[in-house]
C-alpha cells in the first residue's frame, strides 16, 4: 500500500513509518524539520525507516516541507491509500509562548491534510490527538465522554484537529480515526520530556528535577503499543469515525517516576524540586475500554517495564541521543 505519514520524522511518526516500511509498504514522509529539538534525533528516525524499507519490498521517501503548504500536501497525498497525520507543533509550554504558531500548524495544517485526503478519496486518515484535550479532570480515568476543556493552546489545537476529522467523516464520508495519545515514551522520544530529563541527569550523576510537588500523575504509554494500533488501522475499519483513548491504563505520579528512574541508575541521588510549569495538566489517566471494544486494543508494557527498557536503550544510544554528551 501507499502510505503518507505527516510528521514522519518525529517520535511517533518515525516509529509508524519504520513499522510500515518494514512491512513492505511504500511510505512517504512529510516533515518540516523545525529545530524544536535536536534534528539529529529526526535523522536517526529517518535512517531507521530507510533501513527497514531496504530490508523489505517497500520504499521510503522523505519530503522536507510543511503541512501548511496546501499544494505540496495535495501532491503528496494524491496517490496515498492511507494517511497517518502525526505532524504538529508539539509542546504544551511552547504553545503558551506561541499560540498563533500552534494554531497554524495544528489546525490549518490539519485542514490541508483532510481536504487533500477527501479530494483524492483516501481509504483512511489516522489522526494523532492528545490527552491534553481533557484539561482538568472531573473524574478519572478519562473516558471519551469526559468533558473537553483544555488548559493550553496545544490542547485546544488538538481538540480542533480531532473535531475536524470527525466532521470530515460525518459530512464528507472520509474515513477518519482520531487517537488520543497519553504521554507516549520510548526509544527516540523527544529529549525535553520529564522521563528523558530524569534519565539524562541521573546517568550524569545529577539529581532529577521535579517541576511542582511531584504529585501530578501521568498515564505513560510505551511507543510499541502506539505503533501496533496504528499499523492495525492500515486495514481495520472498525473504528472509522471514532475518537479513541490510547493509553496504558497504568498511571504514576511524577515523584514516583523520578524515584523509579533514580533507583535504577543511582539510588544515592536526592530529588530536587522547582516551580511548576504553566499549562501542564495535573493528572492524566486513560480509560481504554472503547479502544478495547472496537480494536481489541490492550496495552502490553507497564510503566516500570517500559522505564527499564528505555534506560537500557538510552545507555546503548547515549553517544548521539543524550544532550549532555552531544554538547560536550
Helix (H, G, I), strand (E, B) or coil at 35: coil
25-73 pLDDT, tens digit each: 999 999 999 887 889 999 999 999 999 999 999 999 999 999 999 999 9
**Overall average pLDDT of the 71-76 stretch:** 98
Distance CA(158)–CA(223), nearest Å, equals 19
Q: Residues 1-8: what's their mean pLDDT?
A: 98
Residue 316 cell numbers, joined? 546503548
Sequence-separated (6 or more) residues with CB below 8 Å from residue 226: 12, 15, 179, 181, 184, 246
C-alpha cell at 293: 471494544
Q: DSSP label at 299?
A: -
Q: What is the dihedral of CA 258, 259, 261, 262, to 10 degrees?
A: 110
154 given a catalytic annotation: yes
The dihedral over CA atoms of 285, 210, 313, 192, expressed in degrees to the nearest 10, equals 90
Question: pLDDT by residue (tens digit) across 276-290?
Answer: 887 677 888 999 999
ω into 159 cis (within 30 of 0): no
What DSSP line would sit under 173-211, residue for residue?
Answer: ---EEEEEE--EESTT--TTSHHHHHHHHHHTT-PPEEE
pLDDT for 178 equals 98
Q: Which of 154, 297, 314, 321 is catalytic?
A: 154
Q: Alpha-carbon distance 168 to 145, whole Å?
A: 20
Tell the CATH topology of 2-182+223-247+281-299: Rossmann fold (3.40.50)
The CA distance from 66 to 33, in Å, is 9
Q: What are the residues whose beta carbons fall under 8 Å from the beta carbon of 102, sequence distance 6 or more?
A: 89, 94, 95, 153, 154, 157
Comparing 295 with 93, the larger pLDDT belongs to 295
Burial zone of 313 (CB within 10 Å; 0-12 exposed, 13-18 middle, 19+ buried):
middle
Amino acid at each position: 500500500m501507499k502510505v503518507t505519514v505527516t510528521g514522519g520524522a518525529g517520535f511517533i511518526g518515525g516509529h509508524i513509518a519504520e513499522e510500515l516500511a518494514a512491512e513492505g509498504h511504500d511510505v512517504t514522509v512529510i516533515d518540516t524539520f523545525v529545530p524544536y529539538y535536536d534534528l539529529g534525533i529526526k535523522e536517526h528516525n529517518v535512517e531507521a525507516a530507510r533501513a527497514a524499507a531496504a530490508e523489505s519490498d517497500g520504499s521510503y521517501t522523505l519530503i522536507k516541507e510543511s503541512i501548511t503548504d496546501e499544494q505540496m500536501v495535495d501532491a503528496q497525498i494524491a496517490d496515498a491509500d492511507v494517511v497517518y497525520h502525526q505532524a504538529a507543533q508539539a509542546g504544551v509550554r511552547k504553545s503558551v509562548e506561541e499560540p498563533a504558531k500552534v494554531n497554524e500548524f495544528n489546525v490549518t495544517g490539519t485542514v490541508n491534510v483532510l481536504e487533500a485526503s477527501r479530494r483524492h478519496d483516501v481509504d483512511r486518515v489516522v489522526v494523532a490527538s492528545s490527552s491534553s484535550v481533557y484539561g482538568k479532570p472531573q473524574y478519572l480515568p478519562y473516558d471519551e465522554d469526559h468533558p473537553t476543556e483544555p488548559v493550553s493552546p496545544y490542547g485546544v489545537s488538538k481538540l480542533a484537529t480531532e473535531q475536524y476529522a470527525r466532521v470530515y467523516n460525518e459530512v464528507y464520508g472520509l474515513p477518519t480515526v482520531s487517537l488520543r495519545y497519553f504521554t507516549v515514551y520510548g526509544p527516540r522520544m523527544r529529549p525535553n520530556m520529564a522521563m528523558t530529563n530524569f534519565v539524562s541527569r541521573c546517568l550524569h550523576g545529577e539529581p532529577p528535577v521535579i517541576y511542582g510537588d511531584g504529585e501530578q500523575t501521568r498515564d505513560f504509554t510505551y511507543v510499541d503499543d502506539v505503533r501496533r494500533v496504528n499499523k492495525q488501522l492500515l486495514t481495520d475499519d472498525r473504528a472509522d469515525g471514532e475518537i479513541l483513548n490510547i493509553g496504558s491504563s497504568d498511571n504514576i505520579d511524577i515523584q514516583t517516576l523520578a524515584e523509579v528512574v533514580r533507583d535504577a541508575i543511582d539510588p544515592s541521588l536526592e530529588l530536587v524540586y522547582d516551580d511548576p510549569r504553566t499549562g501542564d495538566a495535573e493528572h492524566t489517566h486513560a480509560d481504554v475500554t472503547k479502544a478495547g471494544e472496537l480494536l481489541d486494543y490492550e496495552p502490553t508494557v507497564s510503566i516500570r517495564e517500559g522505564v527499564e527498557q528505555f534506560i537500557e536503550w538510552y545507555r546503548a544510544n547515549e553517544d548521539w541521543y543524550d544532550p549532555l554528551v552531544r554538547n560536550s
